[in-house]
Structures are given as structure tokens and as C-alpha cells.
Amino acid sequence: MLRLPRFQYVRPSSLREAVSALADCGPQAMPVAGGTDVYPKMKRRQFLPRYLVSLQGVPELKGIRGDERAGLVIGAGCTLTEVASHPVVRRFYPGLAKAIESISTPVLRNMGTIGGNLCLDTRCNYYDQTLPWRAALGWCMKAPDPGGWPMAPEAAPAENQVPCRVAPGSPRCWAVASSDGAPALMALGAQARLVGPRGERVVPVGELYRDDGMFFLEKSQAELVAEVLLPPADGTRSTYWKLRRRGAFDFPVLGVAVALSLDTDGRVAWARLAVTGVASRPLLMDEAARLLVGQKPSPELVEAVAQAVYLPVRPLDNTDFAHYYRKRMAGVYVRRALQELLGPAAAA
């Protein structure tokens, strides 16, 4: 049985207290929301925080406000079940509901939160293993001997002695972005409100991420995601297609999110495509989306967009399924997602 290491549990009762606790405890502290990623990782000694700052008792992170006309404000502490079962999300942002319902299992969705999902650690076959497995291999850059934790950018050694096992000569880690919620929110044009010791800021969800498997979040250690802001639905159609080995429980090894709307003439007014599972950050496929704008749906258009996603994505061989298969499936899933949203005119 894997056991949790020792740690101190800090239970703030407001957002301000939570941010202060994280700032005061420094890089040895981590926030924990539902704990569905944090606790298993602590058991495997991938995370070894001395302090866990619980977000469970922070009222500012709860609740969903707004409607489809004004847009929705979703507290980062809302569970995945709360978000996916919200009537406005289900009816007007179905791509988000579909993405979230694909996460893990009902029990974990009852605990896991949307904020935790956005800040979910990147994944790799060489990293998501038990301590003895990693020790036998001789560690890797993202998960060196656990004595080296925390691996905050400022704490990381200038010359990392432990190589990457996927790309041994590489100076960086290639672990893979694996949140299903992130690409769905990016396609919908959602923003995140962050609160930290220096105040607050609002950024597009896509700007939360860096292309680095180790330091994959563009935020400071004491900054918290407080809210997710969804724009007005305004005729938006959205969907999410996820590749995984089993129909439940598995993380995405490819996720394709598409959102778009049609004008009165039946042409695509705007479109956004986001892909996850193929890089260390979820990717917005702007060029592919541009091909759609102003066009009437047709099989040729769908094929051109599928190619514009398939060609640039370069998954590495560090998750389930062969990387060349995942690359091919990126094109296939874009095709299927567009056919779902655009109807018979887009079918081959």
C-alpha cells in the first residue's frame, strides 16, 4: 500500500488567507483542491510538499453565476460534476460538458475541481510511476530523486544532472498536457481570474500555459486560479473528442475541442480549435481556425482544416498509443468534430 508522506495541512477560510499562506510557506507549499491529482502524486513521491494549503474551505471559490446571455462565472473550487451538470453549461456550452464528463470516473469528478483540472500536472510514461519504478530507472529530469523537490524554476539547478528518458539529449522535459477541461475552455474563449500576493489579473485560459513539461504554468507559486469566465454563448456550437484506450478512467492522449458559430448565411462567423495531449501545453490551432472563417461548410473545407491540424502537431512517444497514431488521429478527430458541428453539408 502506498502511504502519504508527512505534511502540514493548512486550512484557510478565505481566498486572501489562502494566498497569504502560500506566500508565507514559500516553494515548500502547494494548494490542494479536490486532491485527486495531488494525493496520488504525493503517495508516489512525485510531489513532496511540506505544507498543503487546502482550498476546500474557501467560499470565494464556490458557485456558478450568470447565464448564457451574460456569460458564466465558474468558481475554481466547483467540482467537475457541478460544472458538467449545470443546465446552462449542458445546453449552451456542450463542448465543456462533454470534455468534463470524459474525465476519469464519477467518484473522482465529485471530488476534482475545475481549478485543479486547469492546473493539472503534465504526464509522461517515465514520470507517472511509483517511487521504486523511477528509482530503478535512475530518475528523470522532471522527477529526480525526491530529495530534490520542490522543482520550482528558481530552485532548479542550472545544469540538470538527470536526463530526460524520452529525449536524452534534450535540455527540457516533454511531459504532456493532459487536462480535458483546458482545451474545451480555450476553444470557448474562456478566461481565468488569478489572485496572488500582488493582486489579481484576468488572462485567456491558453495563456496559463508554457511549453515546458516541468514548469508548465504561467503563474507564480502563490497565485491561485479563482474563477473561470465563459463569454456569452451567443449561438456558439461546441464539442470535444477524446482519444484514450478505455471508455472511462483514462487521461486523454489526444483531445480535440472545437467551438464555432454560423452567421445567418450559413457561413462560419468565427471558430476556435484547441488540441491537447500532443505537447506540454494545450495548443490553439489558429491557422486551422482561420481557414473556416467566412466559409460555407463542405467536405473539402473540413479536409483542409483537418490537414492544417494534422501537419503541425508532433506528439512524442511518452504516453499511451504510438505517437504517429496519435498524430493521425488528430486529423481524424478534427474531421469528426467539424462534421458533428456543421452537419450534413460537411460530411464526405
Provide the binding-site residues for ligand FAD, judged by CB under 6 A.
30-38, 40, 55, 76, 80, 103-104, 108, 111-113, 115-117, 119-121, 178-180, 224-225, 249-251
Which range of residues in 22-30, 134-142, 204-212, 251-259 is near ligand SF4 by CB under 6 A?
134-142
165 binds ligand SF4 (CB under 6 A): yes
* Total chain residues near ligand SF4 (CB under 6 A): 14
Query: If contact means CB under 5 to 8 A according to the sort of partner, which of ligand SF4, ligand FAD, none does residue 76 touch?
Result: ligand FAD
Helix (H) or strand (E) holding 192: strand 191-196
Contact partner, 282, from ligand FAD, ligand SF4, none, Cβ < 5-8 Å per class? none
Residues 89-128, interacting with ligand SF4 (CB under 6 A): 124, 126-127
Q: Are 30 and 116 in contact (CB under 8 A)?
A: no
213 is in the binding site of which of ligand SF4, ligand FAD, none (Cβ under 5 to 8 A by kind)? ligand SF4
Measured from the CB atom, is 119 or 230 closer to ligand FAD?
119
297 binds ligand SF4 (CB under 6 A): no
Among 15, 114, 141, 190, binds ligand SF4 (CB under 6 A): 141
Rounded CA separation 65/74 (Å): 7
Question: Residue 191, Cβ neighbours under 10 Å: how many?
Answer: 20
In angstroms, the CA 136 to CA 142 distance is: 16
Q: Are 186 and 203 in contact (CB under 8 A)?
A: no
Our CA angle for 301, 269, 180, nearest 5°, is 75
CA distance 250 to 259: 24
Residue 73 backbone phi and psi in degrees, to 5: -115, 115
Minimum CB separation from ligand SF4 for residue 5, in Å? 20
The least distance separating ligand SF4 from the CB of residue 212, rounded to whole angstroms, comes to 10
CB of 298: closest distance to ligand FAD in angstroms?
33
d(CA 62, CA 34): 13
Contact region with ligand SF4 (CB under 6 A), list: 84-92, 135-143, 221-229, 232-240? 135-143
Cα 146 to Cα 131: distance, rounded to the nearest angstrom: 9
Stretch that binds ligand SF4, among 48-56, 166-174, 251-259, 289-297 (CB under 6 A): 166-174
Taking CB under 6 A as the rule, does residue 278 contact ligand SF4?
Answer: no
Distance CA(33)–CA(29), nearest Å, equals 13
The b-or-e profile of 118-132 (16+ CB within 10 A means b, else e) is bbbbbbbebbbbeee
Q: How far is the CB of 126 from ligand SF4 (least distance, A)?
A: 4
CB atoms within 10 A of CB 92: 23
Q: Which residues bind ligand SF4 (CB under 6 A)?
A: 124, 126-127, 140-142, 164-166, 173-175, 213, 318
